[in-house]
A and B are shown apart, each in its own frame.
Chain A
Amino acid sequence: QVQLQESGPGLVKPSQTLSLTCTVSGGSISSGGYSWSWIRQHPGKGLEWIGYMYYTGSTNYNPSLKSRVTISLDTTKNQFSLTLSSVTAADTAVYFCARISRNDYGANYFDYWGQGTLVTVSS
């Protein structure tokens, strides 16, 4: 059973960089066919996709955040990470990591999720 767990600071100051890590267990992030993604949810709001990294290292980011986002994989630790620079109060949200699977017909879907971690941007 694949499990994902987010970790990182719960409080970040405005203009600084938010850094989160997702530790994956029960499967290797370097095994073929999966992408590793970050999604966030502002308090009381819907879900917003941030971006993903394919196991080969290619990335795809939401254009609304692209200039500030980096997603990377650490295959030695079976982890992937999110950095979001120049944060403001608008980046306060619960951040989820998730695995993207793809079926034979090209349909992508988030099938495993971490529990989520609240990050508050405040001085």
Chain B
Amino acid sequence: DIQMTQSPSSLSASVGDRVTITCRASQTISGFLNWYQQKPGKAPKLLIYAAYILQTGVPSRFSGSGSGTDFTLTISSLQPEDFATYSCQQSSTSPYTFGQGTKVEI
């Protein structure tokens, strides 16, 4: 299975901060990398797919980049509603696998 490793596991930030979360795959996955946001007690919400494509309705302050094994999710100016856990997921090879999540806290 392809292992997905996110860093950091958690971070503290303030409203207006620029936040960067990294996801590394244990082998190359080309651009088959998705990002999700999850709030407590809720289902994950798709933010970005295919490494950099913004899902419809997702604010433009979210962006994704990377290919191969190293990927980044960036929030350009953190908003109060962005405090949540963010997870990456590879769809290059079955079984699909997720990162362990990055919790963004105030």
A binds B: yes
A positions within 8 Å CB-CB of B = 45-49, 60, 62-64, 96, 98, 103, 105-111, 113-116
Q: Are B43 and A46 in contact (CB under 8 A)?
A: no
* Known contacts A96-B43, A115-B42, A116-B43; A64 and B49 CB within 8 A of each other: no
Q: Are B97 and A49 in contact (CB under 8 A)?
A: yes
Where chain B touches its partner, the secondary structure class is loop
B87 contact set on A, CB distance < 8 A:
46-47
B positions within 8 Å CB-CB of A = 31-32, 34, 36, 42-46, 49-50, 53, 55, 87, 89, 91, 94-101
Give A90 Cβ to nearest chain B Cβ, in Å.
17
With CB as the reference atom, state the residue of chain B lying closest to A104: B50
Give A45 Cβ to nearest chain B Cβ, in Å.
8
* Known contacts A96-B43, A115-B43, A116-B43; A108 and B91 CB within 8 A of each other: yes
18 contacts between A and B (CB under 8 A): A46-B100, A47-B44, A47-B89, A48-B98, A49-B95, A49-B96, A62-B95, A64-B95, A98-B43, A107-B91, A108-B32, A108-B96, A109-B34, A109-B50, A109-B89, A111-B55, A113-B44, A115-B42
Q: Are B89 and A110 in contact (CB under 8 A)?
A: yes
How far apart are the CA atoms of A106 and B30 in the complex, in Å? 11
